[in-house]
Structure 1
Amino acid sequence: MSETPRPAPTDAGAQPPGEALLEVMEPAGAAPTQAITRVRSPLSWRAEVRRQWGRRRTTWAFGLLLALPLVLVGSFFFGERSSNSNRGGATSRIFDLAQSGAANFSLVLVFLASELLLVLLAALFCGDAVPSEASWASLRYLLVAPVQRARLLTSKLVVGVGSTLLATVLLPAWGLLVGGIFYGWDPLTNPLGENLTWGQFLPRLALAMGYIFITLLPIAAIAFWLGTRSDAPLAAVGGAVLVSILLNILDQLDALDPYRNAFPGHYSRAWQDALAVTPDYSDMLHGALWSLVWAVAFTMLAYRRFRRSDILS
């Protein structure tokens, strides 16, 4: 006898899988046993967005992102009061740079968050989507219903990448607002004393954040691929972050020249070139191309793995 599938438990605020798939209708005057089950449009985009954005990990992730500028403001305030007499060198210059205006504060915030926090969020949003369904046992329920595997995987990938993009855009925008409130609205001033007006700074900041988003795609794709191979969300997210750390370590080895140039994180800091007085975009171009190659390769591996997986295992 076949076991009747049971609806899996969902995270707080998430929509049960069946609500996105099936609609039960009872004709007027019909007995309950004559209920007609009609299939809606399978797993609509709106349903997937509600499922992912209704989860606690999304709320905590964006809460941490919004809290980071406030934590920096507090650390700058208490650090300045407690170490005015013995602070100096590079630390002092970073403190002064971040507190010189909204543009500088936002730029320091991006510098501090781009190589760890945003990487972690990209791995979380893209690596957690599939294994979390498998750990709840609702992935089998979704695939038994008339939902194509590629359609299901695409919806989760698009929502994950979209969440990563939103975090990438929100970080500097929120940093500008917080920096402007606490430190004023002065334009960008680099350590050499050269200035960029707001008309020059904002388009270049948008270009830099677009580049940072592209460099996050390989880690997101690796996490997504690992998520199709495991039903443990922590394994997918942690595995992608571990790969990122390992590649950064290998990138420091001069003996790997010129092969290390192809590593996803080799050009991760090239976005700073866009904010120079005389910008040079050559490294950004190389970094974007290599990032897209890695992202496409691991995304294809994820689709290949998921299409061939046994949903009963």
Structure 2
Amino acid sequence: MTPSTATTPGPRPSRSTGRTTDRSTDRSAGRRPTPLRWRVELGRQVGRRRTLWGFGLLLALPVILVGAFSLGDGGSGGGRFVDLARQGSANFAVFCLFASSDFLLVILAALFAGDTVPSEASWSSLRYLLVAPVGRARLLTSKLVVALVSTVVATVLLPAWALLVGGLAYGWAPFSSPAGVGLSWGELLPRLALAVAVVAVNLVQVIGIALLIGTLNDAPLGAVGGAVLVTIVASILDTIDQLGDLRHALPMHYSRAWVRALSPDIGWTDIQLSTLWSLIYGVVTIAAAYWWFRRKDILS
């Protein structure tokens, strides 16, 4: 009598072919990347402290400006947006957009796009997202779309909230430009919507630069700060007259083109050039970010 040998459960033979198959292997072999739901990434974006702090600062800005203006002598008039800010809700909203389009909104756009990939790496969750499996292109696309949506929401929210705060503080007078040309509310609202759209499109280049830097390193602060630093250096170079027409190709050269939407005759040339250069920088940097991220070794 031969001694019985202990056996461990193994792969079951296939009834149809007689070949041995492993169920776990069948499930993993050839499986397609799991799509990452947009609402999941959007929920993660909204729930982050830096997003809450960013939008909190955005909402606080008009209130802070009203408080700052109250410390002055109360006079108004002059040839600048800041001199006309207290003449009514419309002027106050335009001034808030003027004061934030070159700095605060740039920082928020860089924060939304530059922090998203490095933060996953710093939390050591990027590898697990890709092992899930989630395709790299799909993962980066979800983060890019959420960054774009967050930036557009911030750009629209600021003037809308400033209109309300300015109306409560200074009344609902229509817009009057520094050149002395007035616009009724019926004329202003579509032009203000155009100006906000130009600002949002202009921030696409910031998003692209921040996303690219975010794929090159695992430091969230480095990605955000790097994108902001690029815009600062470009602004400094833009002041050098010796560069001539080369300055037109610098990032954020047309950052104030949205003001042309509020002039008596809309300056379509500057608006179109602003849109064109921003999209060129955005497409090139975003394409480079995809190219690098799909070939990058994910170690964290």
User: Which TM bucket (shorter chain)?
Assistant: 0.7 to 0.9
CA contact (8 A) 1:48 1:155 kept: yes
Q: How does 1:271-310 map to 2 (within 5 A)?
A: 271-310=258-297
RMSD: 2.2
2:67 maps to 1:74: yes
* Bigger radius of gyration among the two: 2
The more displaced of 125-134 and 276-285 is 276-285
Instruction: Identify which of structures 1 and 2 has the higher relative contact order when contacts are C-alpha pairs closer than 8 Å and 6+ apart.
Output: 2
> When the two structures are superposed, what TM-score results if normalisation uses the length of structure 2?
0.86
The more displaced of 215-224 and 184-193 is 184-193
Partner amino acid for 1:226? I
Contiguous gaps of at least 5 residues in structure 1: 1-35
Partner of 2:206: 219
**Percent identity between the two aligned chains:** 58
DSSP-derived class of the 2:255 partner? coil
Name which of 56, 60, 64 aligns with 1:63: 56
DSSP-derived class of the 2:71 partner? helix
Partner of 1:254: 241
Distance in 2 between residues matched to 1:88 and 1:298, nearest whole Å: 43
Distance in 2 between residues matched to 1:106 and 1:259, nearest whole Å: 33
- Report Cα offsets for 1:72-97 as digits up to 9, x if no partner: 0000001237xx7xx9977xx65541
Partner of 2:47: 54
Q: Figure out how many residues of one structure are paired with residues of the other and give that number.
A: 272
Partner amino acid for 1:195? G
Partner of 2:125: 138
Indicate how the Cα distance of structure 1 residues 95 and 298 shifts in structure 2: closer, same or farther if over 3 A, else same: closer
Name which of 163, 171, 178 aligns with 1:184: 171
2:250 maps to 1:263: yes
Q: How does 1:91-240 map to 2 (within 5 A)?
A: 96-240=83-227
Partner of 1:10: none
- Report Cα offsets for 1:48-84 as digits up to 9, x if no partner: 1111111100100000000000000000001237xx7
CA contact (8 A) 1:227 1:233 kept: yes
CA contact (8 A) 2:113 2:144 kept: yes
Contiguous gaps of at least 5 residues in structure 2: 1-26
Shift of 1:260: 1.3
Indicate how the Cα distance of structure 1 residues 190 and 89 shifts in structure 2: closer, same or farther if over 3 A, else same: closer
- Report Cα offsets for 1:95-148 as digits up to 9, x if no partner: 541111100000011100000000000000000000000000000111111110
DSSP-derived class of the 1:73 partner? helix
Distance in 1 between residues matched to 2:242 and 2:60, nearest whole Å: 40
> When the two structures are superposed, what TM-score results if normalisation uses the length of structure 1?
0.83
